[in-house]
Amino acid sequence: MTTTALQILNTVYGYPAFRGHQSQVIDHLTTGGDALLLMPTGGGKSLCYQIPSLLRPGTGIIISPLIALMQDQVSAVKQLGLRAAFLNSSLTLREAAQVERDLRAGDLDLLYIAPERLLQPRTLELLDEVNAAPPPAGLALFAIDEAHCVSQWGHDFRPEYLQLSLLVDRYPGVPRLACTATADERTRAEIITNLRLQDGAVFIGGFDRPNIRYRVVPKDEPRKQLLKFLRTEHPGDAGIVYCLARKKTEETAAFLAQHGIPAVPYHAGLDAATRRRHQERFLNEDGLVVCATIAFGMGIDKPDVRFVAHLDLPKSVEGYYQETGRAGRDGLPADAWMCYGLQDVVMLRKLIDAPPADGVEIDEMHRRRASQQLDTMLGYCEVTACRRQRLLAHFGETLAQPCGNCDTCLDPPETFDATVVAQKALSCVARTGQRFGAQHIIEVLRGGAADRVLRLGHDKLSTYGIGADVDPFTWRSIIRQLVAHGLLALDPEGYGGLRLTSAAGPVLRGEQVLKLRRDILAPRAAAGAGAGKKAKRAEAVLAAAEFEPDAATTALFDRLRNLRKRLAAEAGVPPYVIFHDKTLALMAQRRPTSEAALLGISGVGQAKLERYGEAFIAEIRAEESGVGEGVD
Ligand code: ADP
Ligand code: ZN
């Protein structure tokens, strides 16, 4: 590893050491190599192209599809003292001309640019010119962010990305780094082929996010369950609630707001100004909840998202992992909470199997893949061993020991011999003609007198009432698991009708013992240490930074946060761009009163010291000498 890269890490970013593959990637790029970098959201990909851009002559060109976020990305790196700009359609001609001048003069460390802009002949000519210019001008590297957009297989496909392969021939000496958080093997192969990275290195790593606690709860009354989760575990915290449908994001946000939790919706159907406003509030405010479709979140790098909740089952484990990865990027404890039930499976099956309304040819391959992804997701939901082990295994990583920080580790689910109840349920499905949904089947099993049961004569069946001893919640759990384990299948029409699969035979005939998990509506006890009794926010952050907070430290931490808020408003950036909570927690603990001592704190680099050092030292001194307001 070059000492210079480390020096930059220390002085510019204020971090003591590299993480994971960072130093290898940086070395590889700095010496002119191409690479594909797969790292989860929050893994630290941006340093991997920013530092080589500083080490190599010329400007690092960062290609990103996320125009809406470029402004924020640029403000954040400017706070670090880097010279950065962006080129996209939101700039006026004059502004764009200024950026071009700076680029030609070699006055930029980083330039963020949208692919469609880069591919315009005019821009390519500009880059040709810069590439041929003597230092300090020049092209340091190309970083292709969100590189999975080049995959025709994935959901985020962007045709312009395919054309980025022209960079190879046009700028042969300029190294390229493709970055993505999507680990799917097929996507990976497609990135390499489509971006012509065959000669490059591949760095994969660090998919474990140990600070995220994964949890899946059986769906009963989802909104109430969500409300309870937020009230007991995340009062005042910022987080994201993912829903499948646009309308539901709005309803959920309204519901939370009614119950005193500040919440706003976000989906692609809202006008651009509203989306922008909601996103900005999320970045700038302390405890806003965004109820969103998956349209929200790509490129959001707010580090203090304390939870990501899923009110609906995600379509794939990749999607789930990417969405949950938006929690806890600051390394402090965060929750990935999901609520799921049979209705979710019905819904997704319907989406997969329904013939497209517009008469488009159904792509059988996509359908099969979507179906496999759903099965994998169900497998994850129903797992009885460590959830993190299952997740990481999916991404090709192994975790030797159960993690101790997921619901199945903290509160191991009980399994029971479900052979007999399963036989009852399966027989009932068979007897009623393999076309009714779970609700009807349960009604028959429990011997209910619903109109429909009587009208259809299902009260005359031999399976009528044979499951009266099992409560409806448990029946739902059993049927859901039978579907997840592939013993029951849902009708392709999406009405939720159940039928037997060939896998049901051995269980029905008593040739196979079936073990299922026993779902409990309200978890027995709060899972694990500290889960139930949520400390006040400040104390929780301080405690997570590994020391016992006393009252004075907590008070100082709060004051530092207020100071940060004021400075952020003045600078027009989100608070976390100034310092992370973790950095403030360290300041509150160690109380540095000199510049040298402040520099010793992780997250304080040279530029931030110069900009904000004095203000923070003054605040700490005021506290020390007891002149601070409201100190107890
Ligand atoms: P990604 O682009 O992979 O989603 P980022 O590059 O935004 O992730 O990094 C996530 C967070 O981790 C950022 O706040 C960044 O400053 C921080 N970070 C990155 N590398 C390090 C490191 N070596 N030490 C400490 N913090 C780091
Ligand atoms: Zn675990």
Does 1 have pLDDT greater than 50? no
Best residue for ligand 1 mutational test, from 329, 332, 581 (most atoms within 8 Å of Cβ): 329
Q: Give 278 Cα–ligand 2 centroid separation in angstroms.
A: 34
387 shares its domain with 445: no
The alpha carbon torsion through 45, 46, 52, 54 (nearest 10 deg) reads -160
- Over residues 84-90, the mean pLDDT reads 94
Best residue for ligand 1 mutational test, from 19, 22, 38, 578 (most atoms within 8 Å of Cβ): 19
Closest Cα to atom 15, ligand 1: which residue? 44
Higher pLDDT, 217 or 548: 217
From 517, 548, 567, give the residue that closes a domain. Answer: 517
From 394, 410, 426, give the residue that closes a domain. Answer: 410
**558: which residues sit within 8 A by CB, 6+ positions away?**
538
DSSP of 27-69: HHHHTT--EEEE--TTS-HHHHHHHHHHHSSSEEEEE-S-HHH
Percentages of the chain per state (helix, strand, coil), in multiples of 5: 50, 10, 40
Q: How many domains does the chain have?
A: 4
Q: Give 545 Cα–ligand 1 centroid separation in angstroms.
A: 17
Share of the chain above pLDDT 90, in %: 71
Closest Cα to atom 18, ligand 1: which residue? 44
For residue 460, give the DSSP letter. Answer: G
Confidence band of 625 (pLDDT split at 50, 70, 90)? confident
127 shares its domain with 216: no
Does 277 have pLDDT greater than 70? yes
Is 155 within a domain?
yes
Looking up residue 578, the CATH number of its domain turns out to be 1.10.150.80
146 with 117: CB under 8 angstroms? no
150 shares its domain with 136: yes
405 shares its domain with 286: yes
- Token pair of 526, please? 């709060």
Q: Which residues pair with 314 in a beta bridge?
A: none
Is 178 within a domain?
yes
- Token pair of 345, please? 């499976």
Q: Which residues of 38-64 are buried (b: 16+ CB within 10 A; e: fewer)?
A: bbbbbbbbbbbbbbbbbbbebbbbbbb
Please name the residue that has the structure tokens 């384990």. Answer: 485
Q: Which residues pair with 406 in a beta bridge?
A: 214
Is 373 within a domain?
no
Closest Cα to atom 20, ligand 1: which residue? 44
Highest mean pLDDT among 148-152, 404-408, 537-541: 404-408
Ligand nearest to the CA of 50: 1
From 370, 391, 410, give the residue that closes a domain. Answer: 410
512 shares its domain with 588: no
Ligand nearest to the CA of 328: 1
Instruction: Give the atom of ligand 1 at the shortest distance from the alpha carbon of 39.
Output: 3
In sign, the C-alpha dihedral spanning 409, 413, 414, 419 is negative
481 shares its domain with 432: yes
Is 92 exposed, middle or buried, given 0-12, 13-18 or 19+ CB atoms closer than 10 A?
A: exposed
Instruction: Give the atom of ligand 1 at the shortest distance from the alpha carbon of 48.
Output: 6
Closest Cα to atom 10, ligand 1: which residue? 42
Give the model confidence (pLDDT) of 517-547 as tens digits: 998 776 544 444 444 344 456 666 776 666 6
Confidence band of 77 (pLDDT split at 50, 70, 90)? very high
Q: Give 433 Cα–ligand 1 centroid separation in angstroms.
A: 56
Domain with 427 in it: 415-517
161 shares its domain with 36: yes
**What pLDDT is stored for residue 532 in this prediction?**
39
Instruction: Give the atom of ligand 1 at the shortest distance from the alpha carbon of 40.
Output: 3
- Element of type H or E holding 177: strand 176-180
Instruction: Give the atom of ligand 1 at the shortest distance from the alpha carbon of 17.
Output: 23
257 shares its domain with 405: yes
* Ligand 1 surroundings by CB, under 6 angstroms: 15, 18-19, 22, 39, 41-47, 301, 303, 329
- Token pair of 359, please? 């008469």
Q: Strand 488-490 and strand 334-340: pairing?
A: unpaired
- Token pair of 559, please? 């004051």
Give the model confidence (pLDDT) of 587-618 as tens digits: 999 999 999 999 999 999 999 999 999 999 99
Closest Cα to atom 25, ligand 1: which residue? 15
43 shares its domain with 175: yes
392 shares its domain with 494: no
Looking up residue 429, the CATH number of its domain turns out to be 1.10.10.10
Is 198 exposed, middle or buried, given 0-12, 13-18 or 19+ CB atoms closer than 10 A?
A: exposed
83 with 106: CB under 8 angstroms? no
Does 435 have pLDDT greater than 80? yes
Is 526 within a domain?
no
Closest Cα to atom 21, ligand 1: which residue? 44
242 with 298: CB under 8 angstroms? no
Please report, in angstroms and rounded to a whole number, the separation of the first and last CA atoms in the chain.
Answer: 48
Give the model confidence (pLDDT) of 283-330 as tens digits: 988 899 999 999 898 767 788 999 999 999 999 998 899 899 999 988
Give the model confidence (pLDDT) of 480-528 as tens digits: 999 999 999 988 777 889 999 999 999 999 999 999 999 877 654 444 4
In this structure, what are the phi and psi dihedrals at residue 255, rounded to the nearest 5 degrees? -60, -45
DSSP of 599-621: HTSTT--HHHHHHHHHHHHHHHH
Q: Give 165 Cα–ligand 2 centroid separation in angstroms.
A: 41
Q: Assign 588 to helix, strand or coil.
A: helix
Closest Cα to atom 16, ligand 1: which residue? 44
Q: Give 438 Cα–ligand 1 centroid separation in angstroms.
A: 46
**What pLDDT is stored for residue 16 in this prediction?**
87
Please name the residue that has the structure tokens 């052979």. Answer: 419
Q: Give 42 Cα–ligand 1 centroid separation in angstroms.
A: 6
**What pLDDT is stored for residue 474 in this prediction?**
93
Q: Give 394 Cα–ligand 2 centroid separation in angstroms.
A: 14
Closest Cα to atom 23, ligand 1: which residue? 18
Is 525 within a domain?
no
Is 369 within a domain?
no
Is 359 within a domain?
no
Q: Give 397 Cα–ligand 1 centroid separation in angstroms.
A: 21
Q: Hey, how many other C-beta atoms are within 10 angstroms of the C-beta on 119?
A: 16
CA distance 78 to 85: 9
Confidence band of 361 (pLDDT split at 50, 70, 90)? low
- Over residues 388-407, the mean pLDDT reads 89
Share of the chain above pLDDT 70, in %: 93
Q: What is the mean pLDDT of the chain?
A: 90
Instruction: Give the atom of ligand 1 at the shortest distance from the alpha carbon of 602.
Output: 25
In this structure, what are the phi and psi dihedrals at residue 214, rounded to the nearest 5 degrees? -85, 140
Answering whether pTM is above 0.95, one says: no
**What pLDDT is stored for residue 531 in this prediction?**
41
595 shares its domain with 452: no
Q: Hey, how many other C-beta atoms are within 10 angstroms of the C-beta on 415?
A: 11
Best residue for ligand 1 mutational test, from 1, 8, 11, 15 (most atoms within 8 Å of Cβ): 15
110 shares its domain with 15: yes
Q: Give 307 Cα–ligand 2 centroid separation in angstroms.
A: 17
Is 300 within a domain?
yes
Instruction: Give the atom of ligand 1 at the shortest distance from the alpha carbon of 47.
Output: 6
Looking up residue 254, the CATH number of its domain turns out to be 3.40.50.300
